[in-house]
Structure 1
Amino acid sequence: MKRSNCLIEVCEDFDCSSKRIKTSFIEGNNSSKMFRNTIWYRSLLDAEKSCLKEDKLKKIHYKFQDDKEMVEEYNVDTQVLLRRAWKVKGKLGGEGKWDVEIGDPMPDATPHIEGIGADFMESKDQPKLTRRNTRINLEWRIRNLPYPIETYSVSANNDERCIVIRTTNKKYFKRLQVPELDRLNLPIEQGNIQCSHSFNTLIIAYKKPQQLLDMDKEWYLELNRVKPIKDIPNDCKTQ
């Protein structure tokens, strides 16, 4: 009888452990989907969307309920976001420009003017910042920084919600915004920051947190439900 009681107790303990494991799994699974409760994710769902496919590129045009417009460009093979740009309204109702958040800047259609005003043109030797997005990292590339890697200090600043770059020679200072983390209400973790330097370019990589990885994956699947259109919208042609 004692042996039977022991077996019953063991079974009861095992049953309780199974329940705890199951509950823990459910809680962990729900926490990884917390991005669904953010204003950003809901605004993406509610936005009017149109899709255009060109070779290996998928372009999505969004029109939000507040009349803001955004264009995203994805690599079809890797499912990685290559470009995100926001429409900036022009003055006096004129045609606006695109403010690029991720990807290469838009080509400047303004012709080079010599003579008056030429001295105010931006120097090609000035540091130039571009944003990149990979499957696992958020990246910033700053060209025309010739200093060795030990010159740079890169730190997370959650009070100002940015990544701060300083140099020991005090010749460069920059604050990098991380809108992807702001939109999901996530902190900037110092341990997720990595830096490298080559060919006069400082490369800062921020490892994507799990919530952002999960959202990237789920949102691309959601975009597959947007049927491509045959005619190319004017907004997409500008991209």
Structure 2
Amino acid sequence: MENPQYPINNMASTWLEKLKEAQKTCLVQDGRRKIHFTFKDGAEMTEEYDLQTSELVVRRWRRQGQLGGAGKWETEVGEEIVPRRMEMEGMVESSSNPIFTRKDIKRKFQWRVRNLPYPIETYSASLDDSSTQVIIRTTNKKYYKKFTIPDMERLGLKLSPDQIHLAHANNTLIISYQKPKEILDIEKQLQEEFKKMKATSDGDMDCRPS
């Protein structure tokens, strides 16, 4: 899967090799290329890409549970599979609570926090001391969020505060982080590999280079 046209660091090379060695199935459906990865350690990852733009729409993970069985699917990119609910049975979380989701665009990691009506000057973004987590705060102390960028962690890349950008529209805070060259190079390699995979519009099949 490596290509000398796109130089990558050791951790990136390891991640690409892990993707290469995984068992993969592929499906083209509803305008998306859907790829399912099963890794040697039993972990599973599903990704969905827009066929027109090649943008990542969904990424979910399922890892083995502590007792050896399959765990629950966890969403890394895209909307959650099921609505969020309070712990008490029968209590549905208020629709006015802030809702945090990741929805990337071509050259940026991007997150949206819906139901935040405060003006743009209310928000600030910073990094934690290790430069591995983004911290979002409001001056009125109504919202606080700390999160990582798993893509950067997998490649061992530190975050830079000057790559974070905030915008606000329609009661939604939009947080963007410029993708570094290492990420863009890997994404380009993967898209070239994905386009070589044999896929079906009727059901899953092994994805192998044509």
Q: Counterpart of 2:153?
A: 182
Whether contact under 8 Å (1:32, 1:214) holds in the other structure is: yes
Residue 106 of structure 2 aligns with an amino acid whose one-letter code is R
Higher RCO, 1 or 2 (CA under 8 Å, sep at least 6)? 2
In the aligned structure 1, how far is the partner of 2:152 from the partner of 2:65?
A: 29
Q: Report sequence identity in percent.
A: 40
Give the counterpart of 2:76 among 101, 107, 112.
101
Q: Normalised by the size of structure 1, how large is the TM-score?
A: 0.74
Residue 102 of structure 1 aligns with an amino acid whose one-letter code is V
| 1:125–1:204 distance in 2 versus 1, CA, 3 Å | same
Give how far 1:36 is off.
6.2
1:165-189, CA deviations, whole angstroms, 9 ceiling, x for partnerless residues? Answer: 1111122111021111111111111
1:112-160, CA deviations, whole angstroms, 9 ceiling, x for partnerless residues? Answer: xxxx833x43111111101011111100100111111111110123516
Residue 54 of structure 1 aligns with an amino acid whose one-letter code is Q
Give the count of matched residue pairs. Answer: 200
Give the counterpart of 1:34 among 1, 5, 8.
8
Give the counterpart of 2:34 among 53, 56, 59.
59
| 2:196 counterpart SS class | coil
Residue 8 of structure 2 aligns with an amino acid whose one-letter code is M
Q: Normalised by the size of structure 2, how large is the TM-score?
A: 0.84
Moved segments of 4+, more than 3 Å: 29-32, 88-97, 107-110
In the aligned structure 2, how far is the partner of 1:66 from the partner of 1:94?
A: 12
| 1:108–1:89 distance in 2 versus 1, CA, 3 Å | farther
| 1:78 counterpart SS class | coil
Q: Counterpart of 1:117?
A: 89
Structure ID, larger Rg: 1
Q: Counterpart of 1:163?
A: 134
Unaligned runs of 5+ in 1: 1-28, 111-115, 234-239
Q: Counterpart of 1:20?
A: none
